[in-house]
Amino acid sequence: MEFRKTSIAGLIEIFPKIFGDTRGHFFESYRQDIFAQNDIPYQFVQDNQSFSTAGVLRGLHFQNEPFAQGKLVRVITGKVIDIAVDIRPESPTFGKYEKFILDAKLQNMVYIPEGFAHGFAALEDSIFSYKCTNNYNKASEGGIIWNDPDLNIDWGIKNPNVSEKDLELPTFYEFSKKIKELLST
C-alpha cells in the first residue's frame, strides 16, 4: 500500500496494491498493522455503506464530541468526488479542504480523522463504503451546507441531488461563529 499525506495534517490518501489477472483482482483494503505504521493507529468500530445514483451529493457531515468519528472511505463501485473540510478550531488549516477522486478502478481510499466535515458527490452510480472509529449518534450530528460561499467547493456536478436535511445545514461562517462562542465560554 502507498500512503500519501496531504497538505492537511492527519488526512491521508491510500492506494492499495492490486493483484490482478484474467480472472479478476484482489487487494487488501485494510490491515491494522500497516495502517498503524502509517499514522492511522485507530480501531474501527462501525462499517457503513450507501448507494448513490449519479448526481447525488451527500454532506458535509460530522459527529460532535464525544461521538466524533475518524473515517476510512472508499467506493466499491463507481466514482465520486470526496471532500474533507478541516473544522478543528486550533488547526492552522481550519476551514481548508482537500478534494479526492475516489474511483473503484483505482480502489483508492482516504483516511479522514476526527475534526473534519465530510461529503461526496457521485459522478456515476456508486456504492460508497466507510469504516468509522466511533459509533454514530443522532444527537451528535452536525454539518455545513454543501454550497457554502466561503468554502467555494467545486463538486463537479452542476445541479446535484441534495437531501432536504442537507439543504438546511448552516454555513461555514455560522458554524465557526458558534465554535468560537463555545470556546470563549
Rounded to 5°, angle at Cα 46 from 103 and 128: 20
pLDDT digits (tens, 9 = 90+) for 30-60: 999 999 999 998 899 999 999 999 999 999 9
- Low-confidence spans in the chain with pLDDT less than 50: none
Domain of 43? 2-184
45: helix, coil or strand?
Answer: coil
Residues that are catalytic: 61, 130
Distance CA 30, CA 27 (A): 9
pTM: 0.94
Residue 109 near residue 21 (C-beta atoms within 8 A): no
The pLDDT value given to residue 178: 86
Q: What is the pLDDT of residue 185?
A: 65
Number of domains into which the chain is organized: 1
Q: What is the CATH number of the domain that holds 95?
A: 2.60.120.10
CA 112 from centroid of its chain's CA atoms: 6
pLDDT per position as a tens digit, 57-81: 999 999 999 999 999 999 999 999 9
